[in-house]
Amino acid sequence: MLPDDKTLTEQGLAPEGRGRMLLIACGALAREILALKALNNWDYMDLTCLPANLHLYPERITEAVENGVLKHRAAYQNIFVVYADCGTGGLLQAKCAELGVEMVAGPHCYSFFEGNEAFAELDDEITAFYLTDFLVKQFDAFVWKPMGLHKHPELRDMIFGNYTKLVYQAQTLDPALKAKAKNCAERLGLAFEYRFTGYGDLATTLKAQSKKPD
């Protein structure tokens, strides 16, 4: 059973302890990974998540992933890290190489949901602020509160003054989420753009992993 978003944000998710391959992922990707797993019958993939709020403290990600790999590696044949660089400045990639595990390519989830290649070509979008399904649901916990806007609304323009639009990169078709994303844009004073991305490179990457020989 998947815990609620608050638990995924603050605590993460423990593995079930079944399967030969373990995915160590960001809590913000739990739902998407489990959806792909169910869709493709990847029963041999187990999932553990680190708390999604590490996103705000990227300097802590590399060590947290390393600890996860060391803790679980004896129990699985194969471990795959479902993080992109996420602001570790190449340190996560270097650590994964050292540990002999692979990870998702690209700078961050906004890029791999869009597709890394397509995202790199979007150079007219520099004033866009992206939200994924998870971030729309957790907007208050991930954006509004950490940026202090619940207490100091006057900070909004210091933080978002350089931005022009909010792009909701939708992984699923969900009218309620779309409405909420639109509302987030209004709260930030940004124009709203809806873009259905589906699972993007997350799907192709996991598929490639699933085809690895045992």
Positions that interact with another protein (CB under 8 A): 56-59, 85, 87-91, 107-108, 111, 120, 123, 126-127, 146-149, 151-152, 155, 158-159, 162-163
130 interface partner picked from another protein, ligand B12, none, CB below 5 to 8 A per type: ligand B12
**Contact with ligand B12 (CB under 6 A) among 5, 32, 46, 85:** 85
Please report the sign of the dihedral spanned by the C-alpha atoms of residue 50, residue 47, residue 117, residue 181: negative
Separation of alpha carbons 36 and 39, rounded Å: 5
CB nearer another protein, residue 87 or residue 115: 87
**Strands 45-50 and 78-82, how do they pair?**
unpaired
55 interface partner picked from another protein, ligand B12, none, CB below 5 to 8 A per type: ligand B12
Tokens representing 80?
A: 């795959």
Count other C-beta atoms under 10 Å from residue 33's C-beta. Answer: 22
Please tell me whether residue 50 adopts helix, strand or coil conformation: strand
End-to-end CA separation in angstroms for the chain: 26
Applying CB under 6 A, which part among 15-23, 40-48, 56-64, 97-105 lies near ligand B12? 56-64
Tokens representing 66?
A: 């390393």
Tokens representing 199?
A: 């699972």
CB nearer another protein, residue 107 or residue 198: 107
- Please report how close the Cβ of residue 194 comes to ligand B12 at its closest, in angstroms: 15
Query: Cα–chain-centroid distance for residue 129?
Result: 15
Asked if residue 86 binds ligand B12 (CB under 6 A), the reply is: yes
- Please report how close the Cβ of residue 187 comes to ligand B12 at its closest, in angstroms: 13
- Please report how close the Cβ of residue 1 comes to another protein at its closest, in angstroms: 32
